[in-house]
Amino acid sequence: MLRTALTPKWLALLVLVLAVVVGFAALGLWQWDTAHERGVAEATKEAAAKPEAPLVQVMPTDGTFPVGALDRKVSMTGTYEASGQVLVAGRRRGETEGFWVVAPLLVEGSRGRSGDPVRIPVLRGFVAAGVEAQPPPTGRVEVKGVLAQGEPPPNQFRPLPEGQVATLNVPTLLNRWGGEVYNAFVFTLSQSPAVDDDMLTPVPPPAPGSTQLNWRNLGYALQWFFFAAFALYMWWRMVREESRVRAVLAEAQAVPADSSTGKGEPAR
């Protein structure tokens, strides 16, 4: 088998397979790092320790998310767009299944490329399944909360009722709302004037500095590692099969040409 593997054809294929394996492994490591959120814990601890600041001073309007902004306490003043409120499906609060209630807030003092105010998705709270979410308050409000990055889009598309989304994904909200949207969302800590809605439960932000395992990205990482191992296995299997074929042919050629006529002296 080694002699077969060292032929030019299989060596060339091995080089190609190794290049593919390196690519798959790199993608797997990238997803692995994403799953473990390396370096995020330290940055979020520092951000959480900083004093509260106006959103317009912390977040740029160019679609980026600064590393030091994660878990930062911010304040903002603006008006809700009630028509843009959505429900994020598949959420739980303890043992209760339900939805996150998210509404766009036009932030005063923010200016996008068009010169208009920029929207920030505000996670107003949680409602249990079967409970109708009330619209956000009208008029000017002051919101204090904690910044978070938007969630990735869902792995698979599944139809949802109107007004619901699968994840709190900023590009998805941008497509629904139009205009310009900050590349972040806010866990609401307090709001003035306060909301009089007993069915809307606050959603606490994750603990600052906690390193959370992202199972979705971990699954992607394991898939890429599997593809890399499978590519090497297929090369080995093809070499083994050709080696077996060569061995059979060599054995057949080694049989004496007169073996089929029997042994002994030819008849006189």
Q: What is the pLDDT of residues 70-98, one digit of tens each?
A: 999 999 999 999 999 999 999 999 899 99
Say yes or no: 13 and 124 in one domain.
no
Say yes or no: 223 and 206 in one domain.
no
Say yes or no: 26 and 84 in one domain.
no
Give the structural domain span for 153. Answer: 48-210
What pLDDT digit, counting tens, does each position of 109-166 carry?
999 999 999 999 999 999 999 999 999 999 999 999 999 999 999 888 889 999 999 9
* Predicted pLDDT at 12: 84
Say yes or no: 13 and 75 in one domain.
no
Say yes or no: 99 and 186 in one domain.
yes
245 falls within a domain:
yes
Do 184 and 150 meet the contact criterion of CB atoms below 8 Å apart?
A: yes
* Predicted pLDDT at 54: 97
What pLDDT digit, counting tens, does each position of 161-187 carry?
999 999 999 999 999 999 999 999 999
Percent of all residues in the chain with a pLDDT value above 90, rounded to a whole number = 50
10 Å CB burial of residue 86 (0-12, 13-18, 19+) is buried
Q: How many CB atoms lie within 10 A of CB 146?
A: 23
Do 137 and 80 meet the contact criterion of CB atoms below 8 Å apart?
A: yes
* Predicted pLDDT at 175: 95
Say yes or no: 228 and 114 in one domain.
no
Say yes or no: 240 and 174 in one domain.
no
Say yes or no: 73 and 197 in one domain.
yes
52 falls within a domain:
yes
Tokens of 166: 């699968």
Highest mean pLDDT among 5-9, 32-36, 126-130, 220-224: 126-130
Residues β-bridged to residue 79:
106, 140
Q: How far is CA 151 from the centre of its chain?
A: 7
Which DSSP string corresponds to 128-186?
A: ETTPPPPPPPPSEEEEEEEEEPPPPPPSS-----TTEESS--HHHHHHHH-S-B-S-EE
Residue 43 has pLDDT above 80, yes or no: no
Say yes or no: 225 and 136 in one domain.
no
* Predicted pLDDT at 208: 64
| 55: CB partners within 8 A, 6+ apart | 74, 75, 76, 107, 110, 120, 147, 182, 186
pLDDT grade, residue 260 (50/70/90)?
A: low
257 falls within a domain:
no
Tokens of 93: 């609060």
Say yes or no: 105 and 203 in one domain.
yes
* Predicted pLDDT at 52: 92
